[in-house]
Structure 1
Amino acid sequence: MSVNVLYAGNEKLWPVYEVALAQALAEHGLDATLSCDLPPAQVDYIVYAPNGKVQDFAPFTGAKAVLGLWAGVEKVVGNPTLTQPYTRMVDDGLTEGMTEWVTGQVLRHHLGLDRYIHRTDPIWHQPAPPLARDRTVAVLGLGALGSAAAQALRALNFKVCGWSRRPKDIAGIDCHSGDEGLRTVLAQAEIVVLLLPKTQATENILNAERLGWLPKGAVIINPGRGPLIDDQALLAALDSGQVAHATLDVFRVEPLPDDHPFWTHPNVTVTPHIAADTRPSSAARVVAENIRRSEAGEPLLHLVDRDAGY
């Protein structure tokens, strides 16, 4: 049986995805027509990214699923025209990319490398950093990306504690949940990594009060979602020394406006949403597997819970 698959992602990436999807679908023995321009009534599956041209899903009356290419879902999950099942992207390329970025930034701050990279005067004698076993790193968000990052940091011998909205049990990680759990985790965190989804419950999760729970001089690393942090509260904490540095990869408005104080603050590092990106080759395999599962009557992988928002 043939299926019609509409690519509705970034149009510039269509030539790459056309090849990757065709190969992945063929490996599953699926006979598929791939296109970035199909009549809506003929579409069986939509391969989707929010920066694509499809924003109204109502005409796709026969679509069996919308298969997202992004890990984040906040830009689509509230779309009232989206009545089809929606899956988010969880794949090894995203996970590996995020883990590499997180461990790199944690090691940068753990080892105090900025003092050497940015020095202007001769400096020779500096105290050695503590060993990883003597440094506590907190990971907020223990989903696929958060748990992978936490386990990688634990493999480097950091003391890793984690927090999630729902209870989790991850080998080697001191896992907490709930309001008291969040305070317990933040109170011991010398470095905090934010990998939570953006929901009503997580917006501004690091506000002025919670930033105050951190040990003085803690470091914030946010490759998750910009709205997880109250920007003004963070700037105040940086100015007071409560937070020593913030390395931020995501922001409330992207690209980050030229006049935003994060650009010029001496204790903020801005990276342009590069911590993890969807790799077409690995993402295509996830998409193809979900189409195979749907056609076989099996449950879809990574199905989004609309009520929970992720």
Structure 2
Amino acid sequence: MSHLVPPILRAAPELDVVLHDARSPCDAEVAVCWNPPAGALASLPKLRLVHSIAAGVDNILSDPALPAVPLCRVVDPQHARGMSEFVTWGVLHYHRQLDRVMANQRLERWFRHDQRDPSGCSVGIMGLGEIGSRVATDLQRLGFTVRGWARNTRELPGVATYAGPQGFRPFLQGTDILVCLLPLTDETRWILNAATFEHLPPGAKLIHVGRGEHLVHLDLITALTSGQIGGAIVDVFPAEPLPAGDALWRAPNLIVTPHMASVASSETIGMQVAHNARLLTRGEPLQNVVDVSRGY
């Protein structure tokens, strides 16, 4: 976290910024964190605000001793752009059959697959918040048939949308490439499981850029081995870095990426943290406050 001190101070030089392990933080009013040890935030008697350094806050909400103070997250427009770039790469990787090309290269086999129109490829986006909506819109503009699923009904031009538990199975049944961009809540934890995979068309692909605890690893490995899932890109994991020897490293037709889909810049994090610290000092409404009851 030391890399965030300079950008926070550049944005608000009047702040006193210290690292948790540098000296006693007992006077801290704002805690800037990502995955704090359980109970660490409760040990700060003057705490008035907890600020995540990312869009996700599940690592903070999982603390049973989390103090009852506002929780804010970082919202970076460039984060949505970066995520859209990554997902678009994954969709094109499978749509242009580059996974098969790479397998053929290892076999020294020259074979050119037919080029298919993107309208014949249905991409399903799980999660239609700011990032999911951007990804869906960008893919739709490229000519893909895009469908989306969310907790509540959403409308996006050119995108078929489904909502709630009753819409989940119909959403899956028409999806060739499934993209997970959900927040992590009690309802979405382990949602990428055997039952979900079974409702997809045989050979469907998965691009998982949500949260690590959305995915049941053993169920994915089983689905990849059987061919029910024809290929997957997984960027997020419950434990990071992914431990050496983990079965996912060797799973068939799986690409493991090191949580690189999109990351907010240190400058953006610093500016948003500093801005909320100033708002807190002035007693004004904070920005990007998390609804703790919803988890995002």
- 1:239, 1:296 → 2: CA distance? 57
CA apart distance, 1:20: 1.2
- 2:284, 2:163 → 1: CA distance? 32
Q: Per the alignment, in what secondary structure is the counterpart of residue 147 of structure 2?
A: strand
Q: How does 1:227-306 map onto structure 2 within 5 Å?
A: 227-306=213-292
- 2:236, 2:67 → 1: CA distance? 26
Q: Report the counterpart of residue 78 of structure 1 in structure 2.
A: 62
CA apart distance, 1:194: 0.6
- 2:30, 2:23 → 1: CA distance? 11
- 1:121, 1:78 → 2: CA distance? 46
The alignment-based identity, stated in percent, is 33
- 2:106, 2:23 → 1: CA distance? 59
Q: Report the counterpart of residue 34 of structure 1 in structure 2.
A: 17
CA apart distance, 1:274: 1.6
Conserved? CA contact 1:211–1:237, under 8 Å: yes
User: After alignment, is 157-166 or 118-127 more displaced?
Assistant: 118-127
Q: Report the counterpart of residue 5 of structure 1 in structure 2.
A: none
CA apart distance, 1:251: 2.0
Spell out, residue by residue over 1:238-284, the C-alpha distance to the aligned partner (whole angstroms, 9 max, x if none): 12211101111112333223332221122111112221223101112
Q: Report the counterpart of residue 7 of structure 1 in structure 2.
A: none
CA apart distance, 1:123: 4.2
Residue 100 (structure 1) aligned with residue 85 (structure 2): yes
Q: Which blocks of at least 5 consecutive residues in structure 1 are unaligned?
A: 1-9
Q: Report the counterpart of residue 190 of structure 1 in structure 2.
A: 176
Conserved? CA contact 1:219–1:243, under 8 Å: yes
Q: How does 1:113-262 map onto structure 2 within 5 Å?
A: 113-118=98-103, 119-262=105-248
CA apart distance, 1:41: 4.9
CA apart distance, 1:219: 0.1
Q: Report the counterpart of residue 49 of structure 1 in structure 2.
A: 34
CA apart distance, 1:62: 3.0
Q: Report the counterpart of residue 10 of structure 2 in structure 1.
A: 23
- 2:249, 2:25 → 1: CA distance? 43
The structure-2 alpha-carbon separation of the partners of 1:38 and 1:44, relative to structure 1 and needing over 3 Å to count, comes to farther
CA apart distance, 1:47: 1.9
RMSD: 2.2
User: After alignment, is 87-96 or 114-123 more displaced?
Assistant: 114-123
CA apart distance, 1:211: 1.0
Q: Report the counterpart of residue 6 of structure 1 in structure 2.
A: none
* TM-score, with length taken from structure 2: 0.89
CA apart distance, 1:54: 8.8
Give the count of matched residue pairs.
292
* TM-score, with length taken from structure 1: 0.85
Q: Per the alignment, in what secondary structure is the counterpart of residue 67 of structure 2?
A: coil
Q: Report the counterpart of residue 62 of structure 1 in structure 2.
A: 46
- 1:293, 1:169 → 2: CA distance? 33
Which residue identity is paired with 1:108?
H
User: After alignment, is 144-153 or 187-196 more displaced?
Assistant: 144-153
Conserved? CA contact 1:93–1:282, under 8 Å: no
Conserved? CA contact 1:40–1:61, under 8 Å: no
Q: Per the alignment, in what secondary structure is the counterpart of residue 41 of structure 2?
A: coil
CA apart distance, 1:222: 0.5
Q: Which blocks of at least 5 consecutive residues in structure 2 are unaligned?
A: none
- 2:232, 2:215 → 1: CA distance? 11
Q: Per the alignment, in what secondary structure is the counterpart of residue 171 of structure 2?
A: helix
- 1:20, 1:222 → 2: CA distance? 31
Conserved? CA contact 1:91–1:282, under 8 Å: yes
- 1:254, 1:18 → 2: CA distance? 23
Conserved? CA contact 2:140–2:158, under 8 Å: yes
